[in-house]
Amino acid sequence: MTSTVTKLFDFDNTLAKALPELVLPWQPVEVPSPELVAVNREVAAAVSVDADALAGEAGVAVLAGNAVPDGTETVAMAYAGHQFGSYSPRLGDGRALLLGEVIDSEGNRVDLHLKGSGRTPFSRGGDGKATVGPMLREFLMAEAMYALGVPTGRALAVVTTGEQIHRQKPEPGAVLTRVAASHLRVGTFEYAVRLEDRSVVRRLADYAIERHYPDLVGEPSPSMELLRSVIGVQASLIARWMLVGFIHGVMNTDNMAISGETIDYGPCAFMDRYDQRTVYSSIDHQGRYAFGNQPTIAHWNLTRLAETLLPVIAEENGVEPEALIPVLSDVLDTFGDRFRADWADGMRAKLGLSEAADGDDDLLRSLVEMLQEQRLDYTSFFRSLARTLRDDGPVPEAAEAWVATWRERLAAEGRDPAEVADAMDAVNPIYIPRNHLVDEALAAAELGDMEPFDTLLSVLTDPFTERDGLDRYAEPAPEDFDRTFRTFCGT
C-alpha cells in the first residue's frame, strides 16, 4: 500500500480534469528499499521543492513511488503510436506515471513524471520496471542537452529501489523522476482521434494550444495554427540535434513531444566521427532513425499528427476533410524550409559567420560532404576551426581545402578573428557525452561508485568552457569502441 505524505509540491493537475479519457488513475508499485542516487538541485529549485526535503525519507519515498504526495492523483497516460513505421493502437505509460503538474519558477506548467514505477494496464508484456544504468543515462543525456541549449525535458532525481531487475543480466532497479513541459505526444493525438467520442481530439487540441501555444487562442482556425506551430518547434528542435550530433535513436510518434522538447531518452547517443548513416540502437536494423534521417522522420511523424488534426481543422473551416488534404500537405512541406533555415543559421554561427550570403548553400554542402568523406570528429572539428583563427593549432589535413574557402568567406565579413573565434567557442561545445565515457560512468554507478558519473555530469554541465585536466573528455571514443557500440531501448 502506498501512503500519502505531507506537501512537497504544489500540484495543480489540469490534464486529468480536461481529458479524463486520456488518463487512467493508477498507483505506483511499492519497492523494498529506496535510495537516492542522483538529485538535480537546479531542477528541484525550478519546481520549488527543497532538494534537502527530497533527499529526506519522505522525499525519497515519493521519488520511489512508495508514497503519493498530498494534492495529486497519479495517472498513467494513454497514447498510441507508430513504432518503426507500424501502428500500435495502445501504448501508453507502461512503466511510468504522471505524478502531477506544477507551476515552475518561470510560471510555466510542467509535468512531474515517474519512470520505472511498476506495471500499469498499458504494460503489455513488460515488467513496468527500469534499471539504474538507463535511468542515470537519461539524467545525464538530458542535462547535457540542456547545457547545449537544446529544448529538453530534464531529470529531477534517480532512486534505486533495492530490487534486482532481470534484463540481459540482473540489474539494480531504479525510478527516474523527470520534468517536462508536458508529455503530450504525437501518439496522444493518434490515440484520441480513434476514440468513439469525436470530441476528445478537439478538446486535446484546445488543451495543447492553451498549455503550449496560448497565443493561438482565438485564431480563426486554431488547430491549423497548432499544426504549424508544432511543425515550427520540431523543425527547430531537429536542427539543434543535427548541429550537435545528437541521434535520438527511437523517433517513434509516441516519442515526439507536442511541446517541441526532446523526450524519452532511450537508445540515444552523440555521434563522434561524422557519418550520416550512424545508428547506435541495437533494434534499428534498417537505419530508419540514423543521424541523417532525422529530419525526414520528423516530417513523417508530423504527417501523422496532421492526419489526426484533419477532422478538427475541417470542422473549424466548415469544409470536407478531403478538401483539406492538399492544403495540409503544403503546410507539412514548410517543415523542410524551416528546418533548413534553422540548420543553416546554426551552422553559420558554428562557423563564425554573422550574416547569410550568396554561396552559403555551397559552402555548407561542401562542409557536410567533406565531413562525411573524411569521417572527422564532428564536435572537435569546429573547435579546431576557432583555434586556427587564433593561429593556435592546425585543422585536420583532410579539411585544409575546405578551410581555405571558409576563411575567404569569413575574411569578407571583415571581423576581428580573435572575436570570431570566441563567438564560435561559445556555440561549439568542447565536451559532449562521449559514448565510451558515458558507458564507463554507468558501469561504475551500477557497482555503486557514483564518482565517474558525478564528474562527467559536472563536465557536461558547462560544455563550452575549456578547462585544464579534462582532455580525455574532449576526445572521441577509440575507433574500435565506436564500431561496436550499441544502445538499447526499454531497458
Residues belonging to the active site = 254
Count interface residues toward ligand AMP (CB under 6 A).
19
Q: Which does 463 bind (CB under 5 to 8 A by kind): Mg ion, ligand AMP, none?
A: none
Q: Which does 128 bind (CB under 5 to 8 A by kind): ligand AMP, Mg ion, none?
A: ligand AMP
Say if residues 272 and 377 touch (Cβ distance below 8 Å): yes
State the Cα–Cα distance between residues 341 and 92, nearest whole angstrom.
34
Nearer to ligand AMP, 55 or 283 (CB): 283
Indicate if the alpha-carbon torsion angle 264, 267, 270, 276 is positive or negative. Answer: negative
Binding track, positions 123-162, relative to ligand AMP; x by CB under 6 A: x--xxxx---------------------------------
Nearer to ligand AMP, 255 or 259 (CB): 255
User: By CB under 6 A, what part of segment 451-490 binds ligand AMP?
Assistant: 489-490
State the Cα–Cα distance between residues 306 and 231, nearest whole angstrom.
10
**Chain CA centroid to CA 486, Å:** 19
Enter the C-alpha cell of residue 396: 585536420
Q: Which does 126 bind (CB under 5 to 8 A by kind): ligand AMP, Mg ion, none?
A: ligand AMP
State the Cα–Cα distance between residues 293 and 185, nearest whole angstrom.
20
Stretch that binds ligand AMP, among 8-16, 201-209, 249-257, 273-281 (CB under 6 A): 249-257
Nearer to Mg ion, 253 or 255 (CB): 255
In angstroms, the Cα distances linking 423 to 145, 239, 243 are: 20, 19, 16
Nearer to ligand AMP, 179 or 250 (CB): 250
Stretch that binds ligand AMP, among 120-128, 271-279, 295-303, 419-427 (CB under 6 A): 120-128
Nearer to Mg ion, 223 or 255 (CB): 255
Backbone torsions φ then ψ of 94, nearest 5 degrees: -90, -15
User: By CB under 5 A, what part of segment 247-286 binds Mg ion?
Assistant: 255, 264
Q: Which does 101 bind (CB under 5 to 8 A by kind): ligand AMP, Mg ion, none?
A: none
State the Cα–Cα distance between residues 35 and 57, nearest whole angstrom.
9
- Minimum gap (Å) between residue 377 Cβ and Mg ion: 30
Give me the amino acid identity at 57.
E
Q: Which does 225 bind (CB under 5 to 8 A by kind): Mg ion, ligand AMP, none?
A: none
Binding ligand AMP (rule: CB under 6 A), the pick from 29, 67, 250, 441 is 250
Enter the C-alpha cell of residue 317: 473551416
State the Cα–Cα distance between residues 113 and 28, nearest whole angstrom.
11
Cβ contacts of 122 within 8 Å, gap of 6 or more: 24, 76, 78, 90, 91, 92, 93, 94
The per-residue b/e assignment along 420-445, b for 16 or more CB within 10 angstroms, e otherwise, is: bbebbbebbbbbbbbbbbbbebbeeb
Nearer to ligand AMP, 114 or 302 (CB): 114
State the Cα–Cα distance between residues 363 and 351, nearest whole angstrom.
11
- Minimum gap (Å) between residue 470 Cβ and ligand AMP: 32
Stretch that binds ligand AMP, among 21-29, 93-101, 231-239, 438-446 (CB under 6 A): 93-101
Q: Which does 304 bind (CB under 5 to 8 A by kind): ligand AMP, Mg ion, none?
A: none
Nearer to Mg ion, 95 or 338 (CB): 95
Which residue in the shown chain puts its C-beta closest to Mg ion?
Answer: 264
- Minimum gap (Å) between residue 165 Cβ and ligand AMP: 8
Cβ contacts of 155 within 8 Å, gap of 6 or more: 38, 40, 43, 138, 139, 142, 143, 176, 177, 178, 179
Say if residues 227 and 189 touch (Cβ distance below 8 Å): no
Length of the chain: 491
Q: Which does 92 bind (CB under 5 to 8 A by kind): Mg ion, ligand AMP, none?
A: ligand AMP
Q: Which does 490 bind (CB under 5 to 8 A by kind): ligand AMP, Mg ion, none?
A: ligand AMP
Which residue in the shown chain puts its C-beta closest to ligand AMP?
Answer: 126
In DSSP notation, 69-97 reads: ETT---EEEP--EEETTEEES----SSEE
Stretch that binds ligand AMP, among 45-53, 118-126, 133-141, 368-376 (CB under 6 A): 118-126
Binding ligand AMP (rule: CB under 6 A), the pick from 95, 178, 273, 338 is 95
Say if residues 317 and 324 touch (Cβ distance below 8 Å): yes
Does 92 bind ligand AMP (CB under 6 A)? Our answer is yes
In DSSP notation, 339-393 reads: HHHHHHHHHHHHTT--S--TTHHHHHHHHHHHHHHHT-BHHHHHHHHHHHHTT-S
Binding track, positions 261-280, relative to ligand AMP; x by CB under 6 A: ---x-x--------------
DSSP 117: -
Nearer to Mg ion, 229 or 255 (CB): 255
Binding site for ligand AMP (CB under 6 A): 91-96, 122-123, 126-129, 250, 254-255, 264, 266, 489-490
Binding site for Mg ion (CB under 5 A): 255, 264
